[in-house]
Chain A
């Protein structure tokens, strides 16, 4: 898969499942990472081997902050996956349903035939290695067996030759995608903005500056801030978002500053500056057009800022080395 392939269209849907924001489509995951500095965390694992969590796969879980910036900037929309599936499958026409089931059966039969063919190849190979040529008769029997339906299998086993009693067991397929069979959910059914923690203004500010954010638990902060893709760069900041009038202890500043300097990073605190001067970058975010009709009741509102963005002020802290 080419990583540059954009998803079919923007905005792309983000699945909201049980309080999580998920992406299931690998091209979309790559696209969000490359174009929109949104990394998320891969959380997919094998259901029966959930301890095998060294290499996780899709789905990609987005932090609410990440989902929010994508929605605010019009790159994505949130879809309630449970509702989409319930409505989609209940409203599916009988013909579509049967066609889909037939399609699944056909694919299952295909897999069964392939399994039988491989098993036969393997046994032939084994016989050849022992210097025995498999008789043509067995060959023919099994091949017709594979092609015909399983009910005929018993009658075809001849009394002279001991043919392998292999039935064509149908394979049942568990569908792994919802789109298809369902059509892609439309932005008109999107949910509103994701709910975000109070550190979000700092996240949006840093995201707007082109930084990549990862969860900051490892360093006891809200976000580890990277100047580029985390696969290529070390992080620059340990960021903690605060309210403009939220009190903090100087001990937190000393602790964060000392830890950050110890790992060649700076501790960053910041928040929305109440009544501060709006800069060009804030206005840029404000003028973003609204893609979502639900958030755009009339044309007048389209001109107004959709999100009330206050300017953010941040302070970088490092140990002075005195």
Chain B
């Protein structure tokens, strides 16, 4: 072992400056670099939205993610680019809806034949969510949070250009308050997700 060590020069010695090729850029870096959309906001806010979009798409398997720069209600500029997307599973179930779903599941189980002992299956279709990207270093106020909520509809439209009117038929009757998923990213690119609802909404009893 000692012999091998002596024959191989230390790695730092072997490298010369010409050998160092620039490392390939990280996927998120190239994604931000390739972004050609028109910048309606501060470019850092655009790259923030892209970063969260990337995280949701590849780490949490979200689909049909869109970036919204304008309010679907008024058409005016949003305080910052927001995202909308569809999670793989339902993200939020209101406690009252949960009670209803459990009752339905219980009825479905009882309807099964005696021999089949099925588990309680709660069926909740995933719903589209609003996502508010933010950096941990930012300071927020209630006013800024309220401005975000004032600019959004209860359910995000499928695409930014499609107005929300056409989609109202699908809105669940449990979605009575506006909600966003607050995506907070730290400098080490850790992202945490919190559901923020507009108003006093009782908590889930998981």
Give the complex CA separation of A215 and B15 in angstroms: 64
Beta-carbon contact of B194 and A320 below 8 Å: yes
Q: Does A12 contact B (CB under 8 A)?
A: no
- Whether A247 and B181, one on each chain, are in contact in the complex, defined by CB atoms closer than 8 angstroms, is no
A227 touches B (CB below 8 Å): yes
In the complex with contacts A236-B202, A250-B136, A320-B195 CB distance below 8 A: yes
Q: Which of A227, A242, A249, A322 contacts B60 (CB 8 A)?
A: A322
Query: In the complex, which residues of chain B have a beta carbon less than 8 angstroms from the beta carbon of A244?
Result: 141-143
| B206→A271 contact, CB < 8 A | no
Contact of A318 with B by CB under 8 A: yes
Expressed in whole angstroms, the Cα–Cα distance for A301 and B146 within the complex equals: 34
**How many Å lie between the Cα of A253 and that of B139 in the bound state?**
11
For A236, what are the chain B residues with a Cβ–Cβ distance below 8 Å?
Answer: 202-203
Whether B195 pairs with A247 at a CB distance below 8 angstroms is no
**Alpha-carbon distance A186/B205, docked complex (angstroms):** 48
Count: A-B pairs, CB below 8 Å? 107
Q: Which residue of A lies closest to B138 (CB)?
A: A250
- Give Cα A273 to B145, complex, Å: 11
| A315:B196 contact, CB within 8 angstroms | yes
B91 at interface by CB-CB < 8 Å: yes
Q: With A and B bound together, what is the CA distance between A236 and B92 in angstroms?
A: 17
Interface residues of B in 144-196 (CB under 8 A from A): 145-146, 149, 181-182, 184, 192-196
* B residues less than 8 Å from A274 (CB atoms): 143
Interface residues of A in 248-279 (CB under 8 A from B): 248-251, 253-254, 257, 260-261, 264-266, 268-271, 273-274
Complex CA gap A209/B141 in Å reads 24
Alpha-carbon distance A256/B195, docked complex (angstroms):
12
CB <8 Å contact, B204 and A313: no
Query: Quick one: closest A residue to B131, CB to CB?
Result: A320
Q: Which of B142, B143, B195, B205 has the most CB of A within 10 A?
A: B142
B141 touches A314 (CB 8 A): no
* A317 cross-chain contacts in B, Cβ below 8 A: 182, 194-197
A319-B195, A320-B193, A322-B60 given; A250·B134 CB < 8 A: yes
A171 to B203, CA, bound (A): 58
Is B201 interfacial (CB 8 A cutoff)? Answer: yes
* A149 interface contact, C-beta 8 A: no
B199 at the interface (CB under 8 A from A): yes
Interchain CB contact under 8 A, A314 and B134: no
Determine whether A125 belongs to the interface, using a CB cutoff of 8 Å to chain B: no
Q: How far is the CA of A288 from the CA of B30 in the complex (A)?
A: 62
Asked if A168 lies at the interface with its beta carbon under 8 angstroms from chain B, I say: no
B58 within 8 A of A: no
- Asked if A245 is at the interface of the complex by the 8 Å CB criterion, the answer is yes
Q: How far is the CA of A58 from the CA of B141 in the complex (A)?
A: 41
Closest Cβ of chain B to A152, distance in Å, is 74
With A250-B184, A251-B136 as known contacts, state yes or no: A242 contacts B142, CB within 8 Å. yes
Q: Is B106 an interface residue (CB 8 A)?
A: no
Is B198 on the interface with A (CB-CB < 8 A)? yes
Report the Cα distance A249→B60, complex, angstroms: 26
Smallest CB–CB gap between A224 and chain B, Å? 12
Task: Please tell me if the beta carbons of B142 and A316 are within 8 angstroms of each other in the complex.
Answer: no
Residues of A within 8 A of B203 (CB): 236-237, 260-261, 264-266, 316, 318
Confirm or deny: A246 has a beta carbon within 8 angstroms of a beta carbon on chain B: yes
Give the distance in Å from the alpha carbon of A209 to the alpha carbon of B202 in the complex: 13
Q: How far, in whole Å, are A7 and B136 apart by their CA atoms in the complex?
A: 52
> What is the chain A residue whose CB lies nearest that of B184?
A250
- Chain B residue nearest to A251 (CB atoms) is B136
Q: Is the CB–CB distance between B200 and A247 below 8 Å?
A: no
Q: List 16 A-B contacts (CB under 8 A).
A: A236-B203, A237-B200, A244-B142, A247-B140, A250-B134, A250-B182, A254-B136, A254-B194, A261-B203, A264-B206, A268-B200, A313-B142, A313-B198, A317-B196, A318-B204, A321-B91
**Apart from the given pairs A209-B200, A244-B143, 17 other A-B contacts in the complex at a CB distance below 8 Å:** A237-B200, A247-B141, A249-B140, A250-B138, A250-B140, A253-B140, A253-B196, A254-B194, A265-B203, A268-B200, A270-B142, A315-B142, A316-B200, A317-B197, A318-B194, A320-B193, A322-B60
